[in-house]
């Protein structure tokens, strides 16, 4: 039964360990919405250098320090992604990545990859931006952070829209919106709803786009004054941007008064925010163009030049080209063709210098439409070449993004496959090791079980032998006693009576020598008394019964021999009677003493060993004491010692073992007296 219980316990242990290993989870960081990236703007070289200068010393000190707290690493990484110091940024991102990998913190790892994507985005390396956004997406998925994943997918959609992949961008955006379904007032949801409307090219036939914008405005308006969704500065920036987009929609629908109203509101929110000048230039342009189209703006060129100067100062040629186009159109409306051509050529030069091929194509179309007399053949050839170049560039960029996404997918699949293989290897190794341990324990328990059976068998045989010895000794004593009684009876009834008769007759004899007669009678009396004493001594049973168990113990002591030539001795307290012991007690006491002698013979290397039997007022003691090596801490491991304790318990006795290394061993058996 004990053997089966141990196997069952081992089975439970292995099962628990397997369950524990399969359910182990690592603690993940808490993702925070990246509002700086959500409302990001392009920084000038001067601004980027200023950020580098501000944080470079702190980054260098952190990289050289042994103490590199993750909070400080993440804080500096968040600042340095907007800097111009590439080496410092990537040294910091490498450190953060190693920490996150070591801790298996997938949320933090995803945040780090998004920071790298932002750095590349600020430097217009758009293929690298997409690659790192995809890496971040994979780890947000592994961490189970649905809001972090939704934010990441929104950034991918925004990037794809920026490079002209509108259909791919739309697919990504709807993935993000699905994840954000239960959080309509989340900042990402608000921005995603605006991006969703940008895919609509015909507002007249799709009024739902403008309705979505107005619903988003109402949602954001509820947070004004509470600022639960966004902090106040970010709220004002988000609201001014949203109102500016609504104004553009109304302008496209030719509802110019509403467009002007929303543009003016947008400017009011802008002045309450800390938004960059770039946003002011957008709103400023929209507001004055709507007024111009209503005939309310007399000095429109001066207003547009204000925006143009802001874009130039911020190094935003993309938007500068738009302003050039607006000015050219206004001059053309005013009939000033030379001034219009001047601004179109300025726009053309900007697109050519900055490789803005899509805008360059639009400028060429305007030149061909409104200024066909200016080197028409060359313009047409350039327009055709540019169209082909744009198509090739578009296909090449699309191919790069598709390849990046495919490679990311393959990498993810390989990682999952590798993870499964590693898990199977670990599981297989654990099962094999567990099986080996189970088999070894089973084999050991089986061997112990065989040994225990053998020991019990030996113990049973020894008990039978002892019982036979005691029975034989009892029979022998009974036989001797009977024979002595018979002799005593014969002496008493026969010999003594005959002597008595002889003495009596002698006394009756009449002889002259009275002295001789008296001497003979005395001799006969002495002989009679002596024989009577012999007869009485033969009949005293108790004397021999007192010696029986004592004799057995004495014989057991005398039989002990070993290679160490240990001198065994036996002493018993005077007048001590052992026959009060029951047969069960005698058997078990004999076996305990015999086992103690065997241990002395095998292990003690003692020069002397004594068996002493004595009593006090309450107890009877059997003490086996040697001067050998001692048995130290191993006293609870041997089967023999265990059996001795079990035998003591069987007869309600107390067994005490006292031993110290090289100071001998004392085994004391205590019974109630």
72-89 b/e with 16+ CB inside 10 Å = b?
ebbebbebbbbbbbeebb
More confident residue, 424 or 319: 319
Residue 396, by phi and psi: left (phi above 0), alpha (psi -120 to 50) or beta?
Answer: alpha
Q: State whether residue 406 is helix, strand or coil.
A: helix
Asked whether the beta carbons of 41 and 67 are under 8 A apart, the reply is no
Give me 294's structure tokens.
């209503």
Q: State whether residue 57 is helix, strand or coil.
A: helix
**Exposure of 48 by Cβ count < 10 A (0-12 exposed, 13-18 middle, 19+ buried)?**
middle
Chain Cα centroid distance, residue 239 = 45
Please work out, in degrees rounded to the nearest 5, the angle formed at the alpha carbon of residue 632 by the alpha carbons of 443 and 610.
115
pTM of the model: 0.58
625: pLDDT confidence band, cut at 50, 70 and 90?
very high
Other CB atoms within 10 A of residue 312 CB: 14
The reported pLDDT for the residue numbered 171 is 92
**Exposure of 362 by Cβ count < 10 A (0-12 exposed, 13-18 middle, 19+ buried)?**
middle
Q: State whether residue 90 is helix, strand or coil.
A: helix
What's the DSSP call for residue 88? H
- Average pLDDT for residues 395-399, to the nearest whole number? 59
Interval 479-507: pLDDT, tens: 765 676 677 666 666 676 677 677 667 76
Angstrom distance (rounded) from CA 177 to CA 549? 98
Is a pLDDT exceeding 90 seen at residue 90?
yes
C-alpha atoms less than 13 angstroms from C-alpha of 182 in its C-beta half-sphere: 3
Interval 234-282: pLDDT, tens: 999 999 999 999 999 999 999 999 999 999 999 999 999 988 999 999 9
In 305-425, where do the E strands start and end?
Answer: none
Q: Which contiguous run of DSSP H or E holds residue 570?
A: strand 567-572
1: pLDDT confidence band, cut at 50, 70 and 90?
very low
Please work out, in degrees rounded to the nearest 5, the angle formed at the alpha carbon of residue 630 by the alpha carbons of 629 and 634.
125
What's the DSSP call for residue 636? G
Asked whether the beta carbons of 243 and 265 are under 8 A apart, the reply is yes
Residue 56, by phi and psi: left (phi above 0), alpha (psi -120 to 50) or beta?
Answer: alpha
Q: Which contiguous run of DSSP H or E holds residue 322?
A: helix 317-333
Asked whether the beta carbons of 302 and 282 are under 8 A apart, the reply is no
Which of 207-211, 527-531, 586-590 is least confident?
527-531
Is a pLDDT exceeding 50 seen at residue 541?
no
Which of 45-49, 187-191, 573-577 is least confident?
573-577
Residue 67, by phi and psi: left (phi above 0), alpha (psi -120 to 50) or beta?
Answer: beta
User: Who contacts 242 (Cβ-Cβ below 8 Å, separation ≥6)?
Assistant: 190, 194, 213, 216, 217, 220, 266
Other CB atoms within 10 A of residue 191 CB: 20
CA nearest 81: which of 46, 109, 43, 107?
43
Asked whether the beta carbons of 100 and 112 are under 8 A apart, the reply is yes
Which of 46-50, 82-86, 299-303, 637-641 is least confident?
637-641
Is a pLDDT exceeding 60 seen at residue 343?
yes
| Strand order from edge to edge, sheet including 619-626 | 567-572, 608-615, 619-626, 665-672, 654-659
Asked whether the beta carbons of 463 and 587 are under 8 A apart, the reply is yes
Q: Residues for the chain: how many in total?
A: 673
User: HEC profile for 136-176?
Assistant: HHHHHHHHCCHHHHHHHHHHHHHHHHHCCCHHHHHHHHHHH
- Average pLDDT for residues 316-340, to the nearest whole number? 92
Asked whether the beta carbons of 625 and 665 are under 8 A apart, the reply is yes
Of the chain, the percentage scoring pLDDT greater than 90 comes to: 46
Is a pLDDT exceeding 70 seen at residue 147?
yes
Asked whether the beta carbons of 549 and 582 are under 8 A apart, the reply is no
Other CB atoms within 10 A of residue 165 CB: 19
The reported pLDDT for the residue numbered 480 is 65
What's the DSSP call for residue 43? P
CA nearest 566: which of 608, 596, 519?
608
Angstrom distance (rounded) from CA 573 to CA 551? 14
When the pLDDT of each residue in the chain is averaged and rounded to a whole number, the result is 83
- Average pLDDT for residues 439-456, to the nearest whole number? 83
**Exposure of 522 by Cβ count < 10 A (0-12 exposed, 13-18 middle, 19+ buried)?**
exposed
Q: Between 232-252 and 187-198, two packed helices, what is the crossing angle to 10 degrees?
A: 20
Asked whether the beta carbons of 92 and 61 are under 8 A apart, the reply is no
- Average pLDDT for residues 278-294, to the nearest whole number? 95
The reported pLDDT for the residue numbered 163 is 83
The reported pLDDT for the residue numbered 2 is 46
Is a pLDDT exceeding 70 seen at residue 636?
no
Q: Between 106-122 and 146-162, two packed helices, what is the crossing angle to 10 degrees?
A: 20
Other CB atoms within 10 A of residue 563 CB: 7
Q: State whether residue 618 is helix, strand or coil.
A: coil
549-672 sits in which CATH class? Answer: alpha beta
CA nearest 24: which of 504, 334, 299, 426?
426
Token match 């540019």: residue?
Answer: 386
- Average pLDDT for residues 322-327, to the nearest whole number? 94
Q: Which contiguous run of DSSP H or E holds residue 9?
A: helix 2-22
Q: Rounded to 5 degrees, what are φ and ψ at 322? A: -60, -45
Q: State whether residue 290 is helix, strand or coil.
A: helix
The reported pLDDT for the residue numbered 34 is 94
Other CB atoms within 10 A of residue 579 CB: 12
What's the DSSP call for residue 626? E
Chain Cα centroid distance, residue 643 = 45
Is a pLDDT exceeding 90 seen at residue 654?
yes
User: Who contacts 480 (Cβ-Cβ below 8 Å, separation ≥6)?
Assistant: 544
Asked whether the beta carbons of 84 and 49 are under 8 A apart, the reply is yes
Q: State whether residue 672 is helix, strand or coil.
A: strand
User: HEC profile for 497-513?
Assistant: HHHHHHHHHHHHCCCCC
Asked whether the beta carbons of 88 and 96 are under 8 A apart, the reply is no
| Residue 298 β-bridge partners | none
Is a pLDDT exceeding 60 seen at residue 545?
no
The reported pLDDT for the residue numbered 3 is 45
């Amino acid at each position: 039964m004990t053997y089966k219980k141990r196997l069952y316990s081992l089975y439970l242990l292995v099962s628990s360990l397997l369950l524990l290993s399969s359910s182990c989870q690592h603690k993940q960081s808490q993702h925070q919405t990246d509002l700086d990236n959500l409302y990001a703007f392009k920084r000038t070289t001067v601004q980027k250098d200023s950020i580098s200068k501000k944080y470079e010393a702190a980054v260098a000190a952190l990289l050289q320090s042994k103490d590199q707290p993750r909070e400080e690493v993440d804080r500096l990484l968040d600042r340095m992604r907007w800097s111009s110091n590439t080496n410092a940024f990537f040294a910091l991102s490498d450190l953060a990545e190693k920490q996150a990998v070591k801790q298996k913190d997938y949320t933090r790892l995803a945040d780090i990859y998004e920071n790298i994507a932002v750095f590349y985005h600020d430097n217009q390396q758009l293929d690298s931006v997409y690659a790192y956004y995809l890496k971040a997406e994979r780890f947000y998925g592994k961490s189970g952070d649905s809001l972090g994943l939704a934010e990441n997918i929104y950034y991918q959609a925004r990037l794809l829209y920026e490079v002209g992949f509108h259909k791919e961008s739309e697919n990504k955006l709807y993935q993000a919106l699905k994840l954000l379904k239960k959080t309509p007032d989340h900042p990402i949801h608000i921005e995603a709803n605006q991006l969703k409307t940008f895919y609509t090219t015909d507002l007249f036939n799709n009024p739902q786009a403008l309705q979505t914008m107005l619903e988003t405005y109402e949602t954001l308006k509820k947070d004004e004054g509470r600022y639960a969704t966004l902090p106040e500065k970010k709220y004002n920036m988000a609201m001014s941007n949203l109102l500016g987009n609504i104004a553009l929609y109304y302008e496209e629908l030719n509802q110019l008064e509403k467009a002007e109203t929303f543009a003016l509101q947008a400017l009011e929110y802008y002045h309450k925010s800390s938004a960059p000048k770039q946003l002011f230039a957008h709103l400023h342009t929209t507001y004055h163009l709507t007024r111009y189209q209503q005939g309310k703006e007399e000095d429109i060129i001066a207003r547009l030049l204000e925006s143009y100067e802001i874009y130039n100062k911020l190094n935003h040629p993309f938007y500068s080209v738009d302003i050039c186009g607006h000015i050219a159109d206004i001059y053309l409306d005013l009939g000033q063709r030379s001034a219009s051509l001047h601004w179109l050529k300025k726009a053309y030069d900007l697109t050519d210098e900055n490789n803005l091929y899509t805008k360059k194509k639009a400028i060429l179309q305007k030149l061909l439409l409104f200024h066909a007399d200016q080197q028409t053949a060359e313009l047409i050839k350039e327009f055709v070449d540019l169209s082909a170049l744009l198509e090739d560039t578009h296909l090449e960029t699309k191919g790069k993004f598709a390849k990046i996404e495919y490679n990311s997918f393959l990498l993810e699949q390989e990682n999952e496959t590798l993870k499964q293989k590693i898990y199977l290897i670990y599981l297989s190794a654990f099962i094999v090791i567990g099986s080996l341990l189970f088999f070894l324990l089973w084999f050991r328990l089986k061997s112990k079980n065989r040994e225990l059976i053998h020991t019990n068998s030996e113990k049973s045989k020894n008990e039978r032998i002892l019982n036979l010895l005691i029975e034989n000794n009892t029979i022998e004593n009974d036989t001797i006693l009977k024979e002595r009684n018979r002799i005593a009876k014969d002496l008493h009834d026969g010999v003594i009576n005959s002597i008595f008769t002889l003495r009596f007759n002698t006394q009756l004899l009449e002889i002259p020598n009275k002295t001789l007669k008296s001497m003979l009678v005395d001799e006969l009396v002495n002989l009679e008394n002596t024989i009577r004493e012999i007869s009485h001594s033969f009949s005293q049973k108790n004397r021999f019964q007192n010696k029986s168990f004592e004799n057995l113990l004495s014989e057991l002591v005398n039989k002990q021999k070993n290679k160490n030539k240990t001198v065994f001795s036996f002493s018993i307290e005077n007048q001590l009677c052992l026959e009060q012991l029951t047969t069960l007690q005698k058997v078990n006491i004999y076996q305990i003493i015999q086992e103690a002698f065997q241990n002395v013979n095998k292990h003690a290397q003692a020069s002397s060993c004594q068996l002493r039997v004595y009593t006090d007022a309450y107890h009877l003691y059997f003490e086996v004491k040697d001067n050998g090596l001692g048995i130290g801490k191993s006293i609870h491991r041997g089967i023999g010692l265990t059996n001795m304790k079990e035998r003591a318990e069987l007869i309600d006795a107390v067994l005490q073992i006292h031993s110290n290394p090289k100071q001998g061993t004392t085994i004391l058996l205590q019974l109630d007296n």
